[in-house]
């Protein structure tokens, strides 16, 4: 699993003109990509890392402050554009594999006590955010 984690001061997802997920104030916007070898155990590991990652102000984590997370699936994180002018998506898991694993990350985060908002899997989404810092890290499980 691969995640792009951004410290934000608010973020939201709109699908077809409807807000489907939104967080206000300090939190994390997390774009999650799934590859073929990923498992529920990796999803749980990612959730624990996101919950405890000390990247908020004053080196705090979401678990320290109760800050919310916006989790959005993004298969393009496994795009490969090293050759030619068009990326390939061979490393991205198909939807029937990826969707349950993204859902598992969200489930595990909620089980840990997190307030989690989400996008809509497979939809054309408009993600807006205010990157605080800017601060962005890449996680790989």
Select which of 76, 88, 128, 130 is catalytic.
76
Select which of 6, 35, 75, 118 is catalytic.
75
Whether residue 86 contacts residue 36, with contact meaning beta carbons closer than 8 Å, is answered with no
Of 141, 5, 139, 140, the C-alpha closest to 72 is 5
Tokens of 17: 């003109």
To the query of whether residue 135 is one of the catalytic residues in this protein, the response is no
To the query of whether residue 6 is one of the catalytic residues in this protein, the response is no
Question: Rounded to the nearest 10 degrees, how much is the dihedral formed by the CA atoms of 50, 55, 57, 58?
Answer: 110
Select which of 6, 35, 39, 74 is catalytic.
74
Maximum Cα interatomic distance, the chain, rounded to a whole number of Å: 45
Of 127, 41, 33, the C-alpha closest to 87 is 33
Tokens of 51: 């919950």
Count of helix runs (H) and strand runs (E) in the chain? 3, 5
Active site residues: 74-76
């Amino acid at each position: 699993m691969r995640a792009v984690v951004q410290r934000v001061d608010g973020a939201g997802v709109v699908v077809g003109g409807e807000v489907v997920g939104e967080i206000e104030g300090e939190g994390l916007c997390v774009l999650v990509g799934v590859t073929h070898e990923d498992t529920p155990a990796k999803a749980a590991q990612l959730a624990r890392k996101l919950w405890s990652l000390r990247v908020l102000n004053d080196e705090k984590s979401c678990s320290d402050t109760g800050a919310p997370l916006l989790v959005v699936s993004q298969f393009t994180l496994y795009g490969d554009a090293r050759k030619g002018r068009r990326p390939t998506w061979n490393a991205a898991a198909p939807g029937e594999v990826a969707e349950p694993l993204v859902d598992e990350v969200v489930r595990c985060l909620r089980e840990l006590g997190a307030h989690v908002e989400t996008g809509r899997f497979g939809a054309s989404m408009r993600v807006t955010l205010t990157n605080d810092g800017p601060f962005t890290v890449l996680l790989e499980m």
